[in-house]
Chains A and B, each alone.
Chain A
Amino acid sequence: QKEVEQNSGPLSVPEGAIASLNCTYSDRGSQSFFWYRQYSGKSPELIMSIYSNGDKEDGRFTAQLNKASQYVSLLIRDSQPSDSATYLCAGWGAAGNKLTFGGGTRVLVKP
């Protein structure tokens, strides 16, 4: 069983709309979580980190963490075609020595 689960998509979103990405995790010891964006043929790029329950906003991105429900989400407001990419959710495991990555959600923003 994969420890971090994401819907693989593709999530198709009209330009200007909100893209909503979800991630669940099984390790209750996980403390901090990250969202990476990966363009095709490129390496993952860190776009958001969240360490405590609640929301964290950075520009058009909002990350949400609910440790009781073991749920992490990412909202992308005013989606642009340049947001078309695969988004990876990751969390530090209880052992604290490596991140566990989800399989990624592919997002397509259509003009």
Chain B
Amino acid sequence: NAGVTQTPKFRILKIGQSMTLQCAQDMNHNYMYWYRQDPGMGLKLIYYSVGAGITDKGEVPNGYNVSRSTTEDFPLRLELAAPSQTSVYFCASSQGQGAGGYTFGSGTRLTVV
């Protein structure tokens, strides 16, 4: 049971480039989330999804896009990367309230230069 798998683990992007951070879970969780965490700071919610075909904005959605075509996958797209998007990105999944907390992936460390 792999849990939540994020790829890549590390990436360096140039300003203006685009990329997709991949997130997949094999626990049949309906709820999935993307967070970013800047050095020494807390988690900030970017986007979340409560099921396939449903996505919603979190606190800091600008500069990002998501899609949820399957229960298993929740990719995060960065368009026109900016230095302010340098951060560690965590994907998480959950069964929802009453069924426990989140399971987090191991994270993607992104640097935009």
A contact residues vs B (CB 8 Å cutoff)? 31-32, 34, 36, 42-46, 49, 88, 90, 92, 96-99, 101-104
Contact indicator A31/B105 (Cβ below 8 Å): no
- A-B contacts, 22 of them at CB < 8 A, read A31-B97, A32-B97, A36-B101, A43-B105, A43-B107, A44-B43, A44-B102, A46-B102, A49-B101, A90-B102, A92-B97, A97-B50, A97-B96, A97-B97, A98-B31, A98-B33, A98-B48, A99-B94, A99-B102, A101-B42, A102-B42, A104-B42
State which of B31, B43, B100, B107 has its C-beta within 8 Å of the C-beta of A88: B43
Contact indicator B103/A96 (Cβ below 8 Å): no
Q: Please name 6 further chain A to chain B contacts, defined as beta carbons within 8 Å, in addition to the given A42-B107, A45-B104, A92-B97, sorted by A numbering.
A: A44-B104, A92-B98, A97-B31, A98-B33, A98-B48, A99-B101
Chain A-chain B contacts (Cβ-Cβ < 8 Å), number: 54
Chain B contacts with A in 63-81, Cβ cutoff 8 A: none
Interface centre among A34, A36, A42, A99 (most CB of B within 10 A): A99
Cα distance A31–B98 in the bound complex, in angstroms: 8
Number of contacting residues on B, CB 8 A?
Answer: 23
CB of B81, distance to nearest CB on chain A (Å): 22
State which of B43, B48, B56 has its C-beta within 8 Å of the C-beta of A101: B43
Known contacts A92-B97, A96-B96, A97-B50; is A46 also within 8 Å of B103 by CB? Answer: yes
CB of A38, distance to nearest CB on chain B (Å): 9
Cα distance A34–B97 in the bound complex, in angstroms: 11
Nearest residue (CB) in B for A34 is B101
